[in-house]
């Protein structure tokens, strides 16, 4: 796990995991250094990833005022309860549905919530964040935001792409990824993470892209992509062709058996 400082307003906390047959998936959380600091998502729910230690190198958790939970998937909620304990002033900004889904695992404290819907705003002292639902998502609870001061769009899973190597998954700028690999990876991720893209009404879908076009963000932060600066044109183009990408079909049992056959069995310890 490492951090990337994009500018005076933004820090990326980057992790990644290998995904068999797909590649290396970046898993990002973010810190918005506003007057009232905002932490966006809290890493993966796997023990010993060290999220709080890395966050502590970026900001004193006691100074965190808001924890923006883009949605309650387990790659976004790993350290949320640790952070709530370490940040007594912080409140969790998320949707009603997200809170309900979290209840099936561990309920969020109701007195620490700030419920928000797309189109509504959050005042963080020196700026006002506008919530929106990205065009591509895998959870109906998803809510990202636009920060007009830093011209940043936090897009949750939208725009993600598995990388061909761990080094690229850790990259500080999406420009490090070859353009052809980036486009094919984003289209793959669109069909993996948002398979409904192939069956939805395309005119209705394209209308969901309009708010993003109107934002004209200079920075796009995806949970599953290196930071994208001044890449809005390419990202919008990718969204427009995503419905035409080939549907993704995951490995079946035969493929699993072939993968398992390639693993060396662990040595049996002798007493």
Note the pLDDT of residue 270: 56
Q: Does residue 271 lie within any of the structural domains?
A: no
Q: Does residue 192 lie within any of the structural domains?
A: yes
Note the pLDDT of residue 48: 87
Q: Does residue 12 lie within any of the structural domains?
A: yes
CA distance 12 to 229: 13
Q: Does residue 269 lie within any of the structural domains?
A: no
Q: How many CB atoms lie within 10 A of CB 136?
A: 27
| Nearest CA-CA partner of 229 in 167, 169, 159 | 159
Strand partners, 17: 25
Q: How many CB atoms lie within 10 A of CB 114?
A: 12
Q: Does residue 94 lie within any of the structural domains?
A: yes
Note the pLDDT of residue 267: 55
Contact in structure between 98 and 71 (CB atoms under 8 Å):
yes
Which residue range forms the structural domain that includes residue 236?
2-248
Tens digit of each residue's pLDDT (9 = 90 or more) over 97-153: 999 999 999 999 999 999 999 999 999 999 999 999 999 999 999 999 999 999 999
Q: Does residue 265 lie within any of the structural domains?
A: no
CATH number at residue 192: 3.60.15.10
Contact in structure between 189 and 224 (CB atoms under 8 Å):
yes
Helix (H) or strand (E) holding 130: strand 128-132
Note the pLDDT of residue 264: 65
Q: Does residue 58 lie within any of the structural domains?
A: yes
| List of the chain residues with pLDDT < 50 | none
Q: Does residue 261 lie within any of the structural domains?
A: no
Note the pLDDT of residue 268: 55
Report the domain count for the chain. Answer: 1
């Amino acid at each position: 796990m490492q951090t990337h400082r994009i500018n005076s307003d933004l820090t990326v906390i980057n992790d990644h995991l290998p995904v068999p047959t797909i590649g290396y998936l970046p898993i990002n959380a973010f810190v918005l250094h506003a007057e009232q600091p905002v932490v966006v998502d809290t890493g993966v729910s796997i023990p010993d990833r060290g999220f709080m230690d890395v966050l502590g190198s970026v900001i004193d958790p006691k100074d965190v005022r808001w924890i923006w939970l883009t949605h309650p998937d387990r790659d976004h909620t790993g350290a949320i309860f640790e952070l709530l304990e370490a940040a007594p002033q912080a409140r969790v900004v998320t949707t009603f549905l997200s809170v309900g889904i979290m209840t099936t695992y561990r309920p969020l404290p109701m007195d620490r919530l700030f419920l928000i819907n797309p189109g509504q705003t959050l005042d963080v002292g020196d700026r006002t964040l506008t919530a929106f639902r990205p065009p591509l998502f895998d959870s109906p609870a998803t809510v990202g935001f636009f920060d007009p001061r830093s011209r940043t769009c936090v897009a949750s899973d939208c725009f993600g792409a598995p990388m061909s190597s761990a080094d690229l998954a850790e990259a500080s700028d999406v420009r490090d990824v070859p353009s052809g690999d980036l486009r094919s990876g984003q289209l793959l991720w669109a069909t993996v993470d948002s398979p409904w893209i192939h069956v939805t009404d395309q005119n209705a879908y394209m209308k969901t892209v309009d708010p993003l076009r109107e934002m004209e963000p200079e920075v796009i932060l995806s949970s599953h992509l290196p930071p994208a600066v001044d890449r809005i044109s390419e990202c919008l183009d990718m969204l427009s062709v995503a419905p035409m990408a080939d549907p993704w079909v995951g490995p079946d049992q035969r493929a699993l058996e072939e993968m398992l056959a390639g693993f060396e069995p662990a040595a049996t310890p002798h007493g």
